[in-house]
Amino acid sequence: MLFYKRRYHPISFSVEAARAGEHGRGFQVVAKEVKKLSEQTARSSNQIIDMIQIIQTESQQAVKSMDETYTEVTGGITIMNRAGELFRQIQHSVVELEAQIQTVSASSQQLSSGAEQTIMAMDTIFNVVEKSASATHNVSAAAQEQLASMEEIAASSESLSKMAIELQEINEKFKT
């Protein structure tokens, strides 16, 4: 009865079987098998414990790796969002620049048109000035001719006046 009070340990079975003698030989064979199974179970349990520890370590590494990956992905998303915002700002700047370029182009065309009109007006003014200069030259020449004619007329008038005085004097001589 001692057998039942003890814990079921393979060594206990062997000891009890040896005490039982002849009747315990069959029980001893069973006890040896139970002992072998117990040792195999202990080895398997140790292997399972080792495997569980390996799985736990690898799981912890996987969790750590996933946390690092999550952090990197979150950082990547933040960077991509910032890059998207920068691209939107660049696009907005390009649209504004295009509008400014169109405004400058229109102003440039207006300036070009104004410059052409100014050149045409200057050509017209030059032609008018040239004609005026020519007319002024002609007027000046005519004025000089008239002045010369007037000087001749004045000289002739003076000469006629002298002649008239002389004729009057001669006429007076005949009258007397």
CA–CA gap between residue 81 and residue 32 (Å, rounded): 71
CA–CA gap between residue 63 and residue 57 (Å, rounded): 10
Q: What single DSSP character describes residue 77?
A: H
CA–CA gap between residue 111 and residue 103 (Å, rounded): 12
Residue count of the chain: 176
The pLDDT profile of the chain, 176 residues, written as one tens digit per residue, is 344 444 455 556 556 656 666 666 666 777 788 888 888 988 988 999 989 999 999 889 989 988 888 898 898 899 999 998 999 999 999 999 999 999 998 888 888 888 888 889 888 998 988 888 888 888 888 888 888 888 888 888 888 888 888 888 888 887 76
Q: What single DSSP character describes residue 23?
A: G
Q: Is the full-model pTM beyond 0.95?
A: no
C-alpha to C-alpha distances, 159 to 39, 142, 148, 154, 162, nearest whole angstrom: 171, 25, 16, 8, 5
Confidence (pLDDT) at 162: 86
